[in-house]
Amino acid sequence: MMSKDRQSRGPSSSPMELRRQVVKTEFRGGAKELWRCRDREVLLEGPAGTGKSFVIGCYIDYLCQTYPGIRVLVLRQTRASLTESWMVTFEQKVLHPYHQCLRRVLRRQNRHDYEYDNKSIIVMGGMDNENRLFSTEFDLIYVNEANELTENNWEKLHRALRNGVLPWQQLVGDCNPDAPTHWLNKRCLSGKTTRLVSRHADNPTITPEYMERLESLTGVRRLRLYLGIWAAAEGQIWECFDTSRHVINGRLIRDVGRSRANYYVESDAGTFNINYFIGVVDWGFRNPACLQIWGIDNDNRAIMTHELYAPNVNPVHLAEIAEALRIRFKVERYICDSAEPDNIDVFNRRMGRHGGAWIAQPTKKRPSDFGPSASLVRERLESNSLFIMADASSRTSNEIDALLKSDKKYVAHSSALSKAGEEIVDVVRHGRSLLFEEKKPMSTIEEIPSFVWKDVGTSGEPKEGPDPRCADHGCDCLRYLCVWMDRSDWRTEEEEKPYETGTYGDLMGHAEVFEESLW
């Protein structure tokens, strides 16, 4: 799919040398069909690594150079998720370092468009700001990872296809196969959307090492990402999880005095007045660590507003991030996996006590606890009292970046990251890039569909706990949260009255502080 000339280009080449190069790219299979297709709706689907993003990037670049003045919109579920996915492919594999679109030197998260000399433009966007998109006219819209959208969102995009400069107006999407019942698959089967299929054989640049990683995947992820089959997970633990209901688009807004936490969520599922924030932590290093922030509203509904999901993040770095978020959002407790008490101590040494109790509290975890705790999550999903914000992961990255800046509104919180600084950001980004390359889940939303029982009997009833091969870091956090929320009185005896009234421990909230100060 990609010629040797294109692969060999690099920053060391001079602008004149790059202009003289004649790059020939051979497209095959579904990629070749895309260039001839003029249908209104097109989906390029296939397993991971077939070059879908590269092909569509080349297609868009060709149209922009061939048809002056066209307007192209590239979007994903959230604008931030484009930064380290399609934009990297477009800049590094489609464009060359001296391309006209890259004259303005900008960080990807700050780049809103790519402008051509002939007045064509490629605009970056996300469904988390859909109103702004629909007020603008485009000739072509490309949805990266189209299966993340709802069918309603997909159909809304047609409203913006009215610029009329390109001879045909087109909505193009790409994705890996999902569940057979997914609306996108049904739309292709009904003929509303033209399906183009891309296979590994169509991409001659794919390496044996990459194919081995895909082949080593298990369960439904192997079927979808390696074999390219629209398959549902057998024995899914939370089959009631529905992205159209439980994953919400919205904004976390600060409004002092509106609620106890001074924040509310305005979303397509309604408005949630946050009463308080709770953090949940599942430890990891070689495997991803997961830190989630949940807002609990006045109706005891839980909304995940932030999520850090990355490997190679040590407890010290994780504690710095947790403390920064605690200061910013007044997180009352961090409920932590009890399997690593030393890590809980690291958190408490960093954050101390609140209301006389340690900020980080262990959750009870026994083998026999899995069934009841999984049932609590199911109950909340079925009763629509548990939601995940679609941009929870990107919001966390933005918060970390913001807390490192010198902007006055962040100065009060920047000290929480003063020791770790940019190192934390680099570690998190590197860890998430590893997950992306290895095609592993990068969030709880991606974990849940492949979170399955280890063994299911003939009657359909599960015989054991979850399959140990499944990623379960975010799912474990869901269980810890629901167990904690289910307790009628979550305060322990120590938390109710840690020190006798009038003692130094009662006044200072930390007896050890007084004892150390004596010496």
33: pLDDT strictly greater than 90: yes
HSE toward the beta carbon, residue 209, CA cutoff 13 A: 2
Among 116, 118, 119, 123, which Cα is nearest to 95's?
A: 116
Quote the tokens at residue 272: 């949630």
Structural domains of the chain in order of their starting residue, each with its CATH number: 4-225 (3.40.50.300), 243-487 (3.30.420.280)
Residue 212: the pLDDT is 92
CA dihedral 485, 488, 494, 498 (to 10 degrees): 100
6 CB neighbour count, 10 Å cutoff = 18
pLDDT band at 270 (very low <50, low <70, confident <90, very high): confident
Between 430 and 283, where is the model more confident? Answer: 283
4: pLDDT strictly greater than 50: no
Residue 512: the pLDDT is 46
Most confident option among 324-328, 377-381, 392-396: 377-381
CB-count burial class (<10 Å; 0-12, 13-18, 19+) for 262:
middle
Residue 367: the pLDDT is 54
Predicted confidence (pLDDT) per residue in 329-368, tens digit: 999 999 999 989 999 999 999 988 877 788 999 987 665 6
12: pLDDT strictly greater than 70: no
Residue 457: the pLDDT is 53
Predicted confidence (pLDDT) per residue in 452-502, tens digit: 888 755 555 555 688 888 899 999 999 999 999 887 444 343 444 455 555
What CA–CA distance (Å, rounded) separates 196 from 86?
19
Average pLDDT, the chain: 82
116: pLDDT strictly greater than 60: yes
3-state SS, 423-490, equals: HHHHHHHHHHHHHHHCCCCCCHHHHHHHCEECCECCCCCECCCECCCCCCHHHHHHHHHHHHHHCCCC
Handedness of CA 464, 468, 469, 474 (dihedral sign): positive
Q: From residue 193, give the alpha-carbon distance in Å to each of 37, 173, 337.
A: 12, 10, 45
180: pLDDT strictly greater than 80: yes
Percent of the chain with pLDDT over 90: 47
Residue 278 — φ and ψ, nearest 5°?
Answer: -130, 140
Long-range contacts of 249-252 (CB under 8 A, 24+ apart): 249/77, 249/127, 249/128, 249/130, 249/389, 249/390, 249/391, 250/128, 250/389, 251/128, 252/295, 252/305, 252/389, 252/395
3-state SS, 327-350, equals: HHHCCCEEEEECCCHHHHHHHHHH
CA-based R_g, the chain, Å: 25
Q: From residue 243, give the alpha-carbon distance in Å to each of 203, 373, 384.
A: 31, 21, 12
Most confident option among 13-27, 58-72, 105-119: 58-72
**Residues near 272 by beta carbon (within 8 Å), at least 6 away in sequence:** 264, 265, 295, 297, 301, 303, 387
7: pLDDT strictly greater than 80: no
- For residues 28 and 158, the answer to whether their CB atoms sit within 8 Å is no
Quote the tokens at residue 497: 């009255």
Residue 331: the pLDDT is 92
Longest dimension (CA), the chain: 82
**Residues near 151 by beta carbon (within 8 Å), at least 6 away in sequence:** 183, 184, 187
Handedness of CA 462, 466, 471, 475 (dihedral sign): positive
Residue 443: the pLDDT is 92
What CA–CA distance (Å, rounded) separates 58 from 53?
9
Handedness of CA 146, 148, 152, 153 (dihedral sign): negative
Between 456 and 19, where is the model more confident? Answer: 456
Of 86-95, 104-113, 342-351, 391-400, which gets the smallest average pLDDT? 391-400
pLDDT band at 69 (very low <50, low <70, confident <90, very high): very high
223: pLDDT strictly greater than 80: yes
Predicted confidence (pLDDT) per residue in 392-433, tens digit: 887 787 777 666 554 444 444 455 454 456 677 778 888 888
Provide mean pLDDT across the span 90-118: 89
pLDDT band at 3 (very low <50, low <70, confident <90, very high): very low
16: pLDDT strictly greater than 60: no
